[in-house]
Structure formats: C-alpha cells, structure tokens
Amino acid sequence: VCLTARISGSTGRRARGGILAYAITSGNLVRVSLFNEVGLYDEGFFVDLVDFDFSLRLRKEGRAVHRVPDAVMHHYVGDVAPSRGFLRRFYTQHSAVRRYYQYRNFLYLVERYGLGFPAFIAKLSIAQMIHLLLIGIQDPQPLSSYRAIAYGVRDYLARRQGPWVEGSR
C-alpha cells in the first residue's frame, strides 16, 4: 500500500472507492519495504511523471494507492495561468525545460503502460493534446515551449533519459 497526503494545489485522481489512480510524488508516504518489492522511482525520468510511473508500477503489481485524509502538505505544481473554467484543469504555466520532461516522459509512459492501463493512458493523452494546444494560447513563450517539446520527442526517440542540458544534445 502506498499512501498519499491530501495536497493543496494538485492531487492524485480517484480510481475507485478511497483508492487513487495515482499520487504525486511530493505527497507520497511510502513504506520503505515497498521499494524493495516494486523498485525505486525511475531516475531516468528525472523530473515529470515519475509519480505516474511509480503509481502505475504499483498498480501493475496489484498494489493500491490510498489517500490519507489527515496528512496535509502544501504544494503547487506551477504558476496558475489566467485560464477560465474548464481550461484551468489542463493548463499550468511551466518553463520550457519542464515541458521537455513532460512530453519526453509522457512518451515513455505510453510505451510502458499503454497496453496495461489503456483508459488511464487515453485520458492522459487527451490531456496532453489539449495542453499542447493551450501552450500556443496561454504560454508567454510558446515557441520556446514547443522547441523544448520537440527536443523531448527527439530524445525519447533516441532513447535518452535523465537530465536534459539545453544545447548539449
């Protein structure tokens, strides 16, 4: 069992009952013995989607992620952009470097879990497509973000993981 705190800002999404489909890494309370059973966080991801990978690995092994309602942690994933209504759910302002990781690591998630968790990956794919569109509308530097995303796709295809140093690849 992996536990997650209630987090202000972004939280995990409910799957069924009190069980979550995933939990963001910064709010996890993980039993150390669980790492021996399912492995550590994948350092190849380096930043974004490490939490999705870990949560899906847990679920693949028949484990569950539960919410701990009494644990509270204050955490925010980025600057809130002036999106209205429905769009707020899909757009958070991030640096171009974060966009690189978001899209590179998304492709690794699709590869690893597309067959085992097709509904989860389909929802995430739709969110990524909407996000891609919103970057052009909301992002203060959309060309930098799109360039970083292209580098992320290129590095996924080249099977690169770990930290990205702009201009070194």
Q: What is the residue whose two structure tokens read 């799957």?
A: 15
User: How do the pLDDT tens digits run along the chain, 169 residues long?
Assistant: 444 444 333 444 544 557 778 877 776 778 888 888 889 999 999 888 998 999 899 889 888 888 777 777 666 655 555 555 666 666 778 889 999 999 999 999 999 999 999 999 999 999 899 989 999 988 889 999 999 999 999 999 999 999 987 665 5
Q: What is the pLDDT of residue 141?
A: 92
What is the Cα–Cα distance from 134 to 24, expressed in whole angstroms? 22
Q: What is the pLDDT of residue 166?
A: 66
Phi, psi of 71 (to 5 degrees): -85, 130
Residue 156: C-alpha distances to residues 23, 38, 52, 104 (Å): 24, 24, 17, 5
Structure tokens, 19 = 């069980």
Amino acid sitting at position 42 = D
Q: What is the residue whose two structure tokens read 């978001």?
A: 102
Cβ–Cβ under 8 Å, residues 71 and 6: yes
Q: b/e string for 10-33 if b means 16 or more Cβ within 10 A? A: ebbeebeeeebbbbbbbbbebeee
What is the Cα–Cα distance from 124 to 120, expressed in whole angstroms? 6
Q: What is the pLDDT of residue 76?
A: 62
pTM over 0.85: no
Q: What is the pLDDT of residue 67?
A: 76
Chain-centre distance of CA 75, in angstroms? 15
Q: What is the pLDDT of residue 64?
A: 83
Backbone torsion region of residue 74, taken as left when φ is above 0, otherwise alpha when ψ lies between -120 and 50, otherwise beta: beta
